[in-house]
């Protein structure tokens, strides 16, 4: 059974810091991995999607890496800003006929001005 | 422009009183998903439609049903809501099942009194 874990559960940093969020999964047989952002009381916004054959994806100040063999992904946020404050969730897609996403519980990030 | 729309954004219902949540999409995607996210927990897939084909997750309670009358709309019916069903309900769509980003709506927060 696939399980996704995110560490830490919460993180508080001063503005301008570079930071890394971690995601681990127990079964390396995944189709892709996706990072989402969730603002309080809101839905999810997709940030980056990494196919199983890829090692990393970049979008602006965000960089996500994937190491399937070790069951790990990281989300790197450069030069953090208060507007980055949110919960970040990673999710792995499993199965060839469901497109089902297994989510981690998220890391809640606070960036202080 | 909103692509995945959920109505209502907040729903209050009474214990045991049936309730229907609505999701619509302008993306013409083939797949529509319903996730349940309880407070501070990971979103959990309840079921999905691939076109008109319904796929229920094994651990989704019978109390939860879904309808998809056309490509654009999908409904979540909770036949007899219990206090434990209070959660954020997220609708998502994807063009196809594999290697695709899922687009999420803003969610409907359900409160059961």
Q: What is the pLDDT of residues A24-83, one digit of tens each?
A: 999 998 888 999 999 987 889 999 999 889 999 999 999 999 999 999 999 999 999 999
A32-45 pLDDT, tens digit per residue, is: 899 999 998 788 99
Nearest to B45 among A89, A96, A100 (CB): A100
- Please indicate whether, in this complex, the C-beta atoms of A43 and B57 are within 8 angstroms of each other: no
Nearest to A41 among B96, B100, B109 (CB): B109
Distance CA(A109)–CA(B33), nearest Å, equals: 27
Q: Which residue would you say has higher pLDDT here, A99 or B93?
A: B93
Compute how many other C-beta atoms are within 10 angstroms of the C-beta atom of residue B15: 11
Torsion of CA A11, A1, B99, B26, to 10 degrees: -80
Q: What angle do CA A77, B104, B32 make, to 5 degrees?
A: 140
Residue A99 confidence (pLDDT): 77
Residue A24 confidence (pLDDT): 97
- Please indicate whether, in this complex, the C-beta atoms of A46 and B48 are within 8 angstroms of each other: no
Residue A98 confidence (pLDDT): 65
- Please indicate whether, in this complex, the C-beta atoms of B44 and A103 are within 8 angstroms of each other: yes
- Whether A13 shows a pLDDT value over 80: the answer reads yes
Nearest to B45 among A51, A97, A101 (CB): A101
Residue of B nearest to A88 (CA): B42
B3-38 pLDDT, tens digit per residue, is: 999 999 999 999 999 999 999 999 999 999 999 999
Residue B86 confidence (pLDDT): 96
- Mutation pick from A43, A86, A88 vs chain B, by most beta carbons of B within 10 Å, is A43
- Whether B1 shows a pLDDT value over 70: the answer reads no
Residues of A in contact with B92 (CB under 8 A): 44
Residue of A nearest to B94 (CA): A99
* DSSP per position, B7-58: E-SEEEE-TT--EEEEEEESS--SEEEEEEE-TTS--EEEEEEETTEEEE-T
Residue written as token pair 């991995």: A33
Contacts A–B by Cβ distance under 8 A:
66
């Amino acid at each position: 059974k696939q399980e996704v874990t995110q560490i830490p559960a919460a993180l508080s940093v001063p503005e301008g810091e570079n930071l890394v969020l971690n995601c681990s999964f127990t079964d390396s047989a995944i189709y892709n991995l996706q990072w989402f952002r969730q603002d309080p009381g809101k839905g999810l916004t997709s940030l980056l999607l990494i196919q199983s054959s890829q090692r990393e994806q970049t979008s602006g100040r965000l960089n996500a890496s994937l190491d399937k063999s070790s069951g790990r992904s990281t989300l790197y946020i450069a030069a953090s800003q208060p507007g980055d404050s949110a919960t970040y969730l990673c999710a792995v897609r499993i199965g060839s006929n469901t497109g089902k996403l297994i989510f981690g519980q998220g890391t809640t990030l606070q960036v202080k001005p | 422009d909103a692509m995945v729309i959920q109505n209502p954004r907040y729903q209050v219902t009474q214990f045991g009183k049936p309730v229907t949540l609505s999701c619509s999409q302008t993306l013409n995607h083939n797949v529509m998903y319903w996730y349940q996210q309880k407070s501070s927990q990971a979103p959990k897939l309840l079921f999905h439609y691939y076109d008109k084909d319904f796929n229920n997750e094994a651990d989704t309670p019978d109390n939860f049903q879904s309808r998809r009358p056309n490509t654009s709309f999908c409904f979540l019916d909770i036949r007899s809501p219990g206090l434990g069903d209070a959660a954020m309900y997220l609708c998502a769509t994807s063009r196809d099942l594999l290697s695709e980003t899922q687009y999420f709506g803003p969610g409907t927060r359900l409160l059961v009194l």
